[in-house]
Amino acid sequence: MAIVKNLLRVAFVVPLLLSISACGDDEPAPQAPAPTTAAVSPSAAPSSAAPPPADPAVRAAETVARLSDEDLAGQVLMPYAYGSAATTVDKAAAAGNQQLAKVNTPAEMIAKFRLGGLILVGFKPEDPTGATNPTSNVENPKQVRALTTGLQEAAAKLPAAAPLMIGTDQEYGVVTRITEGVTMLPSALAFGAAGQPALTEAAWHAAGRELAAMGITADFAPVADTLGPKGSSVIGSRSFGADANANAAQVAAAVRGLQAAGVTATLKHFPGHGHTTADSHDELPLIAQSRKDWEAQDLPPFRSGIDAGAGVVMSGHLNLQAVDKGVAATFSHKVMTDLLRGQLKFTGVAVSDAMNMAPARKWPAGEAAVRALNAGNDMLLMPPDIGAARDGILAALKSGGLKRERLVEAVTRILTLKFRTARTAQPDLATIGSEENQRAVAALDAASITVLRGKCAGPLASGPVTVTAPASREVARVALVRALQEAGVNVQAAGGAAIHLVGYGDKQADLDDAAAITVMMDNPALLALSRSPTLIATYSSSKLSLTALAAVIAGKAKAPGKSPVAAGKLPRSACVK
């Protein structure tokens, strides 16, 4: 009887898999080869078993057919964990894991719940997403690679014998989990300002190589949200800009770059967080446009990202009033199935935004998990109670509140994607911060620098300069001082023409009206309030962005960027029409 059941399961999932193309079947040439763990190699199957099929979809079908309900329920869960290593953690981390999952270590969490994924998180108070990230388990590339290797070894021992999907929010800009030792891309607005998709693709390919070297298999980026006139404060510089069609080209380029490096790209936050004014971490934001306006103003970047082969789409806890009034998209069948699957023809993995955010905590963890799966999500991110989420799924299977076919469909998509991604060889850690990656990102940074008011040629400041900034910008201030000195500019500790830096979260009170030059390292909207004769936007405080800025100030480079968002009545560029 068990054999008959398994054959029936295969008969169900194989036709489904023939239509799944989450990332496309064409794989890039392998990067510099490095030894990989058993968890990220087809050889992870037990030695006594026949070699796994080469086709990821066929392998997924065969795997799903032999999994128990408990295995299936675990595969759709993607929590976070405490601790910077898989099997050894300190007392504080163990206490956090006990509270979250009644285990001590991340590896034990994977084993207990038979997890399909884990998200690496990092708490920073200035991060707009920080409230849902109560811990940090990323420090530097070497530590992250050791952690992900240990996590994959734990996953390889599960009945599914499948790679773990290891994700993180490496958007760059204000939402960046791993900062030490990596090549830092600027915020998405900088890509919009440069307006050159080829540079975008190259920079994100560099980022993808570095993420892959650390063992990250899925990046929760790029942000496909388009900023409305009021500019969603929670999205801000995380968006490529205010022009949906221009954003569409940028999103597609970012997807191609990441996935060519073997890292799955994620479009977020579907159906669009840019025309909202509320923060979905705290409440349910309203998308108030008509259906026609939403399709014109928010949809194009998601469509282009899907067409480019994005493997994952993240649902937003957002009220798309024109489609399903009052229901968060994460829990809306009309949005996650009718729109995403039906209208946009997305066949990859749909992952929920964090289930520990306020709109998702409207219900107990188990009920919320079932509602999200029934709406069309395949993977549930950061459930607030892992055991309750898993038990809710199992109870719903028994009661009929969740059809097993729906769960099988979700896990089939997840496994297909994971088996496909695992075919790319893991790069060596030496690729992180390499000259090649630095050049790719530096070219984008140079193309993004924007003068919104002031001269367009020659040195932008005469005589010695002094770099000033609010106390919170000291790292950026020092970096610019060094970059200016290397560019041949005379920098004094005091008394020179002031170059004043402001950044994310700064207000009018942080401006210096006496400054000769004011530089905004985030959304340039604040520049509309500055009285400085020269206004420049870098959209980023990274070392490479500030190096590009120094070249412009020194008169050694032009400022070819054009702001992708409005800054009051200022022109998008004083130098580019």
For the question of residue 281 being annotated catalytic, the response is yes
Q: How many CB atoms lie within 10 A of CB 290?
A: 11
Instruction: Give residue for tokens 């329920």.
Output: 73
Query: Distance between the two ends of the chain, CA-based, in angstroms?
Result: 72
What is the C-alpha to C-alpha distance for residues 162 and 415, in angstroms, rounded to an integer?
7
What is the C-alpha to C-alpha distance for residues 526 and 570, in angstroms, rounded to an integer?
11
What is the C-alpha to C-alpha distance for residues 93 and 539, in angstroms, rounded to an integer?
35
Instruction: Give residue for tokens 């806890």.
Output: 317
Among 205, 273, 275, 281, the active-site one is 281
| CA-to-CA dists, residue 205 to 253, 260, 297, 425, 538, angstroms | 9, 7, 27, 15, 21
Look up residue 173 and give its DSSP letter. T
Q: Mapped to the 3 state alphabet, what secondary structure does 406-448 carry?
A: HHHHHHHHHHHHHHHHCCCCCCCHHHCCCHHHHHHHHHHHHHH
Q: Following DSSP, what letter does each residue of 63-88 receive, concatenated?
A: HHHT--HHHHHHHTEE---S-SSSS-
In sequence order, which residues have a C-beta less than 8 Å from that of residue 155 and are 6 or more positions away? 39, 110, 115, 162, 163, 164
Among 71, 353, 378, 445, the active-site one is 353
Hey, what are 253's tokens?
Answer: 């380029």
What is the C-alpha to C-alpha distance for residues 419 and 415, in angstroms, rounded to an integer?
6
* β-bridge partners, 491: 465
- In the sheet that holds 450-453, the strands lie side by side as 450-453, 534-537, 517-520, 497-502, 465-468
| CA-to-CA dists, residue 223 to 37, 147, 219, 220, angstroms | 31, 26, 11, 8
Is residue 259 within 8 Å of 309, Cβ to Cβ? yes
Of 86, 96, 64, 163, the C-alpha closest to 419 is: 163
**Residues catalogued as catalytic:** 281, 353
